[in-house]
Amino acid sequence: MALINLPDFANDLLDEFAARKTERIDTPVIQPAEPFLDIAGEDLRRRIFMTESETGASLCLRPEFTIPVCIRHIETATGTPKRYSYLGEVFRQRREGGNEFYQAGIEDLGDINIASADARAIGDATGILTRLLPGERLTVTLGDQAVFEAVVQALGLPLGWQKRLIHAFGNMGQLEALLASLVSPQFVTDLDDDVARLIAAGDEAALIAHINATMHRTGYSSNASRSPAEIARRLKDKLVLSETRLDEAAFRVLEEFLSLRVPLINASAALAGFADAAGLKLGNALSRFDGRVAALGNAGIDLASIDYRAAFGRPLDYYTGLVFEVGIQGSSAVLAGGGRFDRLLTLLGAKDRIPAVGFSLWLDRIETERAGP
């Protein structure tokens, strides 16, 4: 039973979902916590309301719908393409406006025409908000994690550093701190002398044996979640990453990329010019970006009204490409947000890769904007 009132525009919202040929889906309020803890990202993890089952299994109050909808899709073995819609309560700690609120949205699973599906997601989000907020001028901010990943990969950084930077995408504070540590490395000084000597010698077998003996001697092995070999690999990676230095030229390239901010109608040219000037081959990522821009234009969306920001991301780790947010002019409130999450269903147990894109609407914020000043 709902603990807060459903907004008075809920029926209009359901009509919009039906008109877009979506299947309404609901998921339990109590969810297994593991998928959110493993996949959703740090920002959401620290805001989840945790609990336990009678058997001690970790559970949580539903903090969002995308993961539960994808799990339900996998469990029901439903074929794709499939378009789901949802409307229900979600729960997050330390949220401005209340810890419990209504969220609605659409998840578009299995459409292999990536550009068209991306354009449809933005078109659906803006179309629904136009109906709910007539007369308001919408603002759309768009980013692309895949382009950022392509830039990082083209710079030839070690895989560990690529993962760190990609993981921080969208969080400028964290990203700037990582870049600063790349320019001026802080060498690891807390390694045991024997461990440091074995790593320097490249004697992996001896390192594993040393770690195993230490674990047994300290009694740590009985409760360890990682094997001696895994710990050895992590220690070696830590040392390599601490000694990696980003040269000044590469640092400037990343800085220039992250500073790009132009109307979407000019974004393809700006990205191509950046890649040429930096000598980076971003091929497929730029081709997919150009395809999305063309699809948005073909859908009748005003490209000049969308703000492309190269550094823009959203605080959920499962995004893989397009990310976007929608608000209204003169307000800082994010009313809708979403993006592409092509790896998520595989991570959740799907046997085949299923391309996916979707968005969520924050109904309490929309209600506030409808009420006016």
Residue ranges of E strands in 146-280: 261-263
Q: Which two tokens stand for residue 121?
A: 């997601």
Distance CA 89, CA 107 (A): 17
Distance CA 114, CA 293 (A): 12
Sort residue 13 into left (φ over 0), alpha (ψ -120 to 50) or beta: alpha
Cβ atoms of 356 and 110 closer than 8 Å: yes
- The three-state secondary structure class of 170 is coil
Distance CA 142, CA 147 (A): 12
Q: Which two tokens stand for residue 281?
A: 């081959």
Percent of residues in the chain assigned helix, strand, coil, to nearest 5: 50, 15, 35
Binding residues for L-histidine, by number, are: 64-66, 92, 103, 107, 314, 318-319
Binding residues, by number, are: 64-66, 92, 103, 107, 314, 318-319
Cβ atoms of 369 and 333 closer than 8 Å: yes
What residue type is assigned to position 82 of the chain?
Answer: K
